[in-house]
Amino acid sequence: MELREALAYLREHHQSLLNTDASVLGVAYTPDDGEADFYIIELSLDEEAKAEEGVDYYNVHLEGGNISSSEGIEDYLGDENIDNLIEELPEFTEKIQYQLYQLENSPFGYESSFALKNIFPSLPDPDDSDPTTFKSEAIALITKLNKQ
């Protein structure tokens, strides 16, 4: 799903997403970004705003980093208006595909290689693989995912 489709999907399938613990995630390879080579983007609806005010308030959680680095970048954005929210987001968020994931553990809060391994189980173990090989395999999987 493209970004707008994914946000609309959140609104339409809100309850089923909650019931199944599914997440709407996008994964981006951003080689021209000075802060991170990879980003994981989670789209969600604010539970409190939905329950108490009946308002669809969209949240976007971005977390990025580089392979073999514990340094990273994290950002949270939100808005009731999809157009306003998209204007605030980095451009790459509109160029990737979003998928439903049911992950055992959240990919957030980990070094990028471990976060990517969580999303793409076919990647080699980050502790036992060459970082260059791991990165090239991750790029191939992300590229394939975003061409759908």
**What pLDDT score does 53 carry?**
77
Q: Which residues 6+ apart lie within 8 Å of 63 measured at CB?
A: 39, 40, 72, 73, 74, 75, 107, 108, 109, 115
The mean of the pLDDT values for the chain is 92
C-alpha 81: how far from chain center? 20
**What is the residue whose two structure tokens read 């502790």?**
127
List CB contacts of 113: < 8 A, sequence separation 6 or more.
67, 68, 126, 131, 134, 138
Give pLDDT, residue 119: 95
C-alpha 122/C-alpha 78 separation (Å) is: 32
Average pLDDT over residues 52-66: 90
Give 61's pLDDT tier (boundaries 50, 70, 90): very high
Q: pLDDT digit string (tens) for 8-49?
A: 999 899 888 888 889 999 999 999 998 999 999 999 998 787
Q: pLDDT per residue over 79-98, tens digit each?
A: 999 999 999 999 999 999 99
pTM for the model stands at 0.92
